[in-house]
Chain A
Amino acid sequence: MLSKRIIPCLDVKDGRTVKGVNFVDLRDAGDPVELAWNYSRQGADELVFLDITATVERRKTMVELVKSVARQINIPFTIGGGINEIADAEALLNAGADKISINSAAVRNPALIDELAKAFGVQFVVIAVDTRAICDKNVVHLNGGRLPTERETLEWILEAESRGAGEILLTSMDHDGTKAGFDNKLLKIVNDAVHIPVIASGGAGSVQHFVDVFEKTNIDAALAASVFHYGEILIPDLKAVLRSNNIEVRI
């Protein structure tokens, strides 16, 4: 059976991880490649690198990061952050990225999804959606959830799918950072509406939250950052609990 995927997310700036990491056996907790290697050894199924570099050299630093990861890591990985055009995506593909994640650039120019899918295949194109509820309506937000758009979340996701998105990474800004659990209600609505894989993000605080999101929504994958970085949840323990709840995982 196809396994549910567990995906640690690493925030990277200028080639270094930004958030502190509490792994006892790391020589350098800021080195994204060493962290990635550690997660792959723990049993992570996939990795997401979110690059928040803001300098003019950003594409170069992203490409260098992707090459280092591809040289040393034996599981698939996605890179996102500031990818605005075909040339950005092509440079990352050639450096060994399995997928790229696009957020704001796709909302501002939806035709970019069509272009990327046509050029590199749908499997390469992840559309990241940051959503926040405003008056009982789920609304797509940009700039890390600070800037509301005119787009309703489900309607935007369906458009992205029809244009050639291969996967949706859905982050609930209402849940993100709360450690109170994933937004299972919205995730189920989205997962039932699309025919491409959906990754849940935002709100993971305990092992039970992962059990809940898979049981209640049947989503394909769950992503988290801090609970993994600070060692609050160890991936082997998480997977053992998922398996004991009859959720298919790779161990």
Chain B
Amino acid sequence: MHETKNNTEVAEPTQSKAPPSGGGGGIGIIRYGAGNIFSLTAALDRLGIAYGMVNTVEDLQQFDRYIIPGVGHAGAAMKKLESTGLVPAIKELKKPTLGICVGMQLLTSHSEEGDSTLLGLFPIKTLKFKDSNLYKVPHTGWNQVYPEKENLLFKNIPSGSHFYFVHSYFIEYNKAYTLLSANYTNQFSASIWRDNFYGVQFHPEKSGVYGETLLTNFSKI
């Protein structure tokens, strides 16, 4: 996928109206200029999940958990993330942290997109789908996901539920880290999990009721 422009944030709310539940600070969304997050914050608003923006290392402290969003080119996204100075602190995070789409790919060690070195929180790779007459790339639309492990992130979501994907690069299947698998040209990781770090390749904010369930689950992990 092509590089995505660093968008202005005129239309985006920077803080939820909802008060943080349980006295905590809600979700901190890591802001590094990789794509628009209006739909994500709109979903959190609908669900009554508190959130705010993380622009600096100091901002991290006020939140209970974090989301790393992202669309576009993984290598370009990594460069932008590095330029914020947040990378060392992100690697040390101990609170639940969810990468979405390219934000999930950043958690892996390497992407074939731009031959990029990424955060390396998961010792697995992001690879490109092989284009063929049978399979179109980007992988676009609703595909089924299957739990490989028990985890609260997937609570109340049946195995085989559909989620909305748009991506040309995927994270390889790995028995140790794959939380949800999906199939396209090959089996791949629709979700990964290690300690407090989670990633989803699909867009929960665009995946109907089950996508909203997943975001609610994350807010309670």
Contacts and interface: CB of A to CB of B under 8 A. Distances in A.
Bound pair: A and B? Answer: yes
A96 B38 contact: yes
27 contacts: A2-B139, A2-B141, A2-B143, A3-B141, A70-B39, A70-B42, A74-B46, A74-B212, A76-B206, A90-B5, A90-B7, A93-B7, A94-B36, A94-B38, A95-B11, A95-B38, A96-B42, A119-B2, A119-B4, A123-B138, A166-B138, A166-B140, A195-B133, A196-B136, A196-B138, A220-B141, A221-B141
A167 B166 CA distance: 11
B39 A96 contact: yes
Nearest to B184: A2
Contacts of B1: 121-123
A108 B2 CA distance: 23
Given A74-B209, A75-B206, A195-B136, A121 B11 contact: no
A58 interface: no
B115 interface: no
A119 B5 CA distance: 5
Contacts of A93: 7, 36
Given A75-B206, A90-B5, A250 B45 contact: no
A231 interface: no
Contacts of B43: 74
Interface in A148-183: 164, 166-167
B8 interface: yes
A212 to B, nearest CB: 20
A94 B133 CA distance: 34
Contact of A94 (B12, B72, B203): B12
Contacts, number: 113
B159 interface: no
Contact of B46 (A5, A71, A194, A250): A71
Interface of B: 1-5, 7-12, 36, 38-39, 42-43, 45-46, 71-73, 131, 133, 136-144, 162, 164, 166, 183-184, 203, 205-209, 211-212
Contacts of A63: 11
Contacts of A167: 140
- Among A2, A45, A96, A250, max chain B CB count under 10 A is at A2
Given A40-B208, A94-B7, A120-B4, A75 B140 contact: no
Contacts of A250: 142, 162
Interface in A86-102: 90, 93-96, 98
A1 B141 contact: no
Interface of A: 1-3, 5, 40, 45, 63, 67, 70-72, 74-76, 90, 93-96, 98, 117-123, 164, 166-167, 192, 194-197, 220-221, 250
- Among B4, B141, B206, max chain A CB count under 10 A is at B141
Q: Which 4 A-B residue pairs are closest in the complex by CB-CB distance?
A: A96-B38, A250-B162, A3-B142, A94-B11
Contacts of B144: 1
Nearest to B40: A96
Given A90-B8, A93-B36, A94-B9, 19 more contacts: A1-B144, A5-B142, A70-B42, A71-B42, A72-B46, A74-B209, A75-B164, A75-B208, A76-B164, A76-B206, A94-B38, A95-B11, A96-B42, A98-B39, A98-B166, A98-B206, A123-B166, A167-B140, A250-B142
Given A118-B3, A123-B166, A2 B72 contact: no
Nearest to A221: B141
A87 B164 CA distance: 27
Contacts of B2: 117-122, 164
A3 B143 contact: yes
Contact of A74 (B36, B72, B208): B208
Contact of A120 (B5, B8, B137, B143): B5
- Among A3, A72, A123, A166, max chain B CB count under 10 A is at A123
B195 to A, nearest CB: 29
